[in-house]
């Protein structure tokens, strides 16, 4: 997707449409009604303040759980020491529409507790099931459409055969879209960043758009701090890892470049990217809008929370926060002919299908920021 034109950014929303068998893949392909996500469940901490209702169980502290009922604030309470049944029930009975996990995993299992002994989720022949510490099994049979984000799990996106975890989630758990690392994860930008864009900016992006935007943000970080590192290197060769002065100023190292390149090329998106699944509208730290009049574009950003507008909503995980503001364009433009009229000091990146603005500094909180530019259209709507 990065090779469709001359810039280093991905050029289209993409996904791999598959399933545990032909019937499973066909069910996913036939899913056309948009999904608005109100019910959320997770095996790791997430920002329930951005959700209508949901629950998360801590992977670090045994017995810790946080629940949010609709119309109320999230509240911490005491959960079961083994959360296998509770998480299976969240899919079967609560009928969660978004499921988020982290922690140790392989192509055959998810180990629910990260710092303490807990149960597991396992898969076999397209069937997902929980197995608690006492050896009791809980089959997951959930047919409501949902999306799955194993943001911190190793190998959850590696489909190496009929018993792969991804296929079981797509089949017996009713998942229509998911992401997953096809390798062990260590850096985290490609996975955890989905929460920054999808969950913590509720309603702004579909999941396919959030995946695309996070890849745009990753590529921008490579381009800004490690010039040339993102160039497609011949097979078997090592990329050039040259640190910019800006990278050194913010404490980045060559290891960060390696991590960004690793995450760029190892996270898969499963499902039809044309299917729209998005969070129910919720609180936003800033408003953003795009006005198009012929070849004139006005991108406006309005902070909503003063000095906290561009601070992270939640920091659980790895490589959280600090992601740029990205606006998708309603049609493709000829980026080579763009003329910025105002807002150049914001260092915008204007590509053929998006506008990117790095996060303003916390001390800068005017009523609004604007980027004005002229750009002729080219090609079909993205």
pLDDT digits (tens, 9 = 90+) for 220-279: 999 999 988 877 666 666 767 788 889 999 999 999 999 999 999 999 999 999 999 999
d(CA 171, CA 28): 9
Q: Does domain 1-281 have CATH number 3.40.50?
A: yes
User: Taking phi first (over 0 means left), then psi (-120 to 50 degrees means alpha), and beta for anything else, what does residue 103 get?
Assistant: left
Q: Per the structure block, which two tokens stand in for 239?
A: 């990329």
Q: What is the pLDDT of residues 199-216, one digit of tens each?
A: 999 999 999 999 999 999
Mean of the per-residue pLDDT values of the chain: 94
What are the phi and psi torsion angles at 108 (to 5°)?
-115, -10
pTM above 0.85, yes or no: yes
Question: Within the chain, which residues score under 50 in pLDDT?
Answer: 382
SS3 per-residue string spanning 52-78:
CEEEEECCCCCCEEEEECCCCCCEEEE
Predicted confidence at residue 376, as pLDDT, reads 86
Predicted confidence at residue 361, as pLDDT, reads 79
d(CA 63, CA 364): 41
d(CA 83, CA 74): 19
Torsion of CA 297, 330, 210, 30, to 10 degrees: 170
Which residues have a Cβ under 8 Å from the Cβ of 166 and sit 6 or more positions away? 156, 157, 158, 159, 178, 180, 270
Give the chain's largest Cα–Cα span.
66
């Amino acid at each position: 997707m990065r090779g469709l034109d001359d810039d280093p950014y991905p050029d289209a929303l993409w996904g791999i449409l598959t399933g545990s068998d032909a019937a499973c893949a066909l069910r996913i392909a036939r899913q056309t009604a948009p999904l608005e996500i109100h019910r959320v469940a997770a095996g790791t901490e997430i920002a329930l303040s951005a959700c209508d209702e949901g629950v998360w169980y801590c992977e670090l502290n045994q017995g810790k759980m946080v629940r949010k009922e609709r119309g109320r604030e999230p509240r911490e309470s005491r959960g079961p020491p083994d959360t296998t049944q509770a998480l299976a029930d969240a899919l079967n009975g609560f009928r969660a529409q978004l499921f988020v996990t982290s922690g140790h995993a392989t192509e055959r299992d998810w180990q629910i507790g990260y710092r303490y002994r807990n149960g597991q989720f396992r898969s076999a022949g397209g069937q997902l099931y929980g197995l608690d510490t006492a050896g009791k099994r809980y089959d997951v049979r959930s047919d409501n459409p949902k999306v799955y984000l194993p943001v911190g799990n190793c190998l959850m996106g590696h489909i190496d055969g009929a018993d792969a975890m991804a296929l079981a989630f797509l089949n017996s758990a009713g998942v229509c879209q998911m992401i997953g690392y096809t390798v062990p994860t260590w850096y985290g930008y490609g996975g955890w960043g989905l929460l920054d864009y999808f969950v913590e900016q509720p309603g702004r992006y579909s999941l396919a758009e959030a995946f695309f935007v996070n890849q745009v943000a990753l590529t921008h970080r490579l381009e800004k701090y490690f010039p040339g590192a993102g160039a497609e290197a011949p097979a078997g060769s090592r990329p050039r890892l040259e640190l910019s002065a800006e990278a050194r100023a913010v404490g980045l190292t060559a290891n960060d470049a390696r991590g960004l390149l690793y995450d760029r090329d190892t996270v898969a998106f499963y499902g039809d990217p044309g299917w729209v699944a998005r969070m129910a509208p919720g609180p936003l730290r800033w408003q953003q809008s795009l006005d198009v009049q012929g070849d004139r574009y006005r991108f406006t950003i309005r902070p909503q929370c003063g000095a906290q507008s561009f601070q992270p909503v939640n920091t659980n995980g790895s490589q959280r926060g600090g992601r740029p503001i990205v606006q998708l364009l309603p049609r493709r433009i000829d980026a080579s002919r763009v003329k910025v009229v105002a807002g150049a000091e914001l260092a915008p990146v204007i590509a053929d299908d998006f506008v990117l603005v790095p996060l303003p500094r916390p001390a800068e909180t005017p009523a609004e920021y604007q980027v004005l530019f002229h750009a002729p259209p080219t090609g079909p709507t993205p």
